[in-house]
């Protein structure tokens, strides 16, 4: 039993009390997905040590190769589409971001292997084209989180001989992503204008809602508030509004929250989650659950860092967990966060983390 395990159990208790207090505020499907997501923690806890990175590199390489091909086909067919993000197989707009996540784990696994000059050049060659394709597909934050996690791998490397190949990998990803953005410069410029407008605060006009609309929007508080008109093709503007809604709801969340998926009812952007697992946890499961999840993040990262000094596997876990946590800050949804809880459990299962 570790401190991480104790915090996870406390989180389960808070979620259970939230359900008991608020009743059933979500669909049976979302509840089932939440259970599966949380079950990933004990699954990660049972992962045996001595991971074979060669097998991991081989498996993720196949996924990245297939993902690059299908994304490239969709990208060519939808090059000038106003939406920007290509719909893989005509319907999966999130696919390029998902393939980028796999590319990240491939890159982290490579950094945890013994790299010679030749193997480093081969790795850079493997990663360059997929990085350009996914960047051209308007995948943004996943690349930021990827480079940050690889920078962490470089930082914790024990010698310059280990750092140089990782730095070369980071440079390859950065240059390839830049080439992808330049190749699709018209779309890149359009999204850059969107983001600049959001930062400048001119992306939306404020439209007051009526009392009836406010009542339908905020079941718990029944308080009218102003909702802006948001460009649904501007993901930055959408997240800005979602975060504003979350901070508006947090003071009234209480110790055990408003109930699972209540945010989607009370937000100005209907049927859309906050895209931030920590904020969602605070709003829907309460202040206490949010504090526990924050402590679980910090403790798992700190403990994995200690273990990484003597274990390449722990280094992979540390960088992978850091990447997943970063992703949950912009794309998180607790019911779909199985990867997050898997890595948290994996961290707790490392030998060096066990509480005597």
| Token pair belonging to 5 | 């395990």
User: Who's near 161: CB < 8 A, 6+ residues apart?
Assistant: none
User: Who's near 343: CB < 8 A, 6+ residues apart?
Assistant: 44, 300, 317, 320, 321, 324
**Residues linked to residue 227 through DSSP beta bridges, in sequence order:** 207
Residue of higher predicted confidence among 341 and 310: 341
Least confident of 46-60, 247-261, 312-326: 46-60
Assign 68 a pLDDT band (cuts: 50, 70, 90).
Answer: very high
Q: What is the 3-state secondary structure (H, E, C) of the chain?
A: CCHHHHHHHHHHHHHHHHHHHHCCCCCHHHHHHHHHHHHHHHHHHCCCCCCCHHHHHHHHHHHHHHHHHHHHHHHHHCCCCCCCCCCECCCECCHHHHHHHHHHHHHHHHHCCCCCHHHHHHHHHHHHHHHHHHHHCCCCHHHHHHHHHHHHHHHHCCCHHHHHHHHHHHHHHHHHHHHHHHHCHHHHHHHHHHHHHHHHCCCCEEEECCHHHHHHHCCCCCCCCEEEECCCCCHHHHHHHHHHHHHHHHHHCCCCCCCCCHHHHHCCCCCCCCCCHHHHHHHHHCHHHHHHHHHHHHHHHHHHHHHHCCCHHHHHHHHHHHHHHHHHHHHCCHHHCHHHHHHHHHHHHCHHHCCC
What value does the mean pLDDT take over residues 69-94?
89
Quick: pLDDT tens for 122-175: 999 999 999 999 999 989 899 999 999 999 999 998 888 889 999 999 999 999
Assign 201 a pLDDT band (cuts: 50, 70, 90).
Answer: low
**How far does Cα 43 stand from its chain's mean position?**
20
Q: What pLDDT is stored for residue 188 in this prediction?
A: 81
Quick: pLDDT tens for 178-197: 999 999 888 888 777 766 76
Look over the chain and give the mean of its residue pLDDT values, rounded to a whole number: 86
Q: What pLDDT is stored for residue 204 in this prediction?
A: 44
Percent of the chain residues topping a pLDDT of 70: 88
Percent of the chain residues topping a pLDDT of 90: 61
Quick: pLDDT tens for 284-311: 999 999 999 999 999 999 989 988 888 8
Q: What pLDDT is stored for residue 233 in this prediction?
A: 67
What distance in Å separates the CA atoms of residue 338 and residue 224, rounded to the nearest whole number?
36
What value does the mean pLDDT take over residues 270-281?
92
Of these ranges, 225-234, 239-248, 287-296, the one predicted with the greatest mean pLDDT is 287-296
Residue of higher predicted confidence among 234 and 62: 62
Q: What pLDDT is stored for residue 216 in this prediction?
A: 41
What value does the mean pLDDT take over residues 86-105?
92
């Amino acid at each position: 039993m570790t401190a991480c395990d104790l915090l996870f159990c406390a989180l389960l208790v808070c979620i259970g009390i939230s359900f008991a207090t608020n009743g059933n505020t979500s669909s049976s499907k979302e509840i089932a997905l939440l259970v599966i997501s949380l079950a990933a923690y004990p699954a990660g806890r049972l992962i045996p040590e001595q991971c074979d990175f060669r097998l991991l590199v081989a498996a993720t390489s196949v996924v990245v190769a297939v993902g690059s091909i299908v994304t490239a086909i969709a990208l060519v067919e939808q090059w000038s589409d106003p939406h920007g993000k290509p719909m893989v197989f005509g319907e999966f707009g999130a696919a390029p971001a998902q393939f980028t996540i796999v590319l990240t784990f491939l890159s982290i696994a490579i950094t945890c292997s013994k790299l010679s000059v030749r193997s480093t050049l081969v790795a850079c060659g493997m990663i360059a084209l997929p990085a350009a394709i996914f960047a051209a597909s308007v995948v943004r934050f996943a690349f930021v989180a990827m480079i940050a996690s690889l920078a962490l791998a470089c930082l914790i490397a024990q010698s310059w001989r280990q750092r140089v190949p990782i730095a070369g990998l980071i440079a390859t990803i950065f240059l390839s992503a830049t080439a992808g953005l330049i190749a699709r410069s018209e779309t890149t410029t359009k999204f850059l204008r969107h983001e600049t407008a959001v930062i400048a605060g001119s992306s939306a006009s404020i439209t007051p809602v009526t009392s009836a609309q406010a009542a339908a929007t905020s079941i718990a508080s029944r308080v009218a508030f102003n909702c802006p008109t948001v460009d649904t093709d501007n993901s930055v503007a959408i997240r800005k509004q979602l975060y504003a809604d979350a901070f508006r709801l947090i003071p009234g969340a209480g110790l055990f929250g408003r109930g699972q998926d209540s945010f989607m009812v009370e937000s100005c952007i209907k049927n859309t989650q906050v895209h931030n697992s920590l904020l969602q946890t605070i709003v829907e499961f309460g202040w206490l659950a949010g504090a526990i999840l924050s402590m679980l993040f910090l403790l798992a990262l700190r403990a994995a860092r200690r273990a990484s000094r003597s274990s390449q596997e722990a280094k992979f876990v540390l960088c992978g967990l850091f990447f997943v946590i970063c992703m949950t800050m912009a794309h998180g949804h607790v019911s779909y966060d199985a990867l997050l809880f898997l890595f948290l459990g994996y961290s707790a299962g490392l030998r060096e983390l066990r509480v005597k």
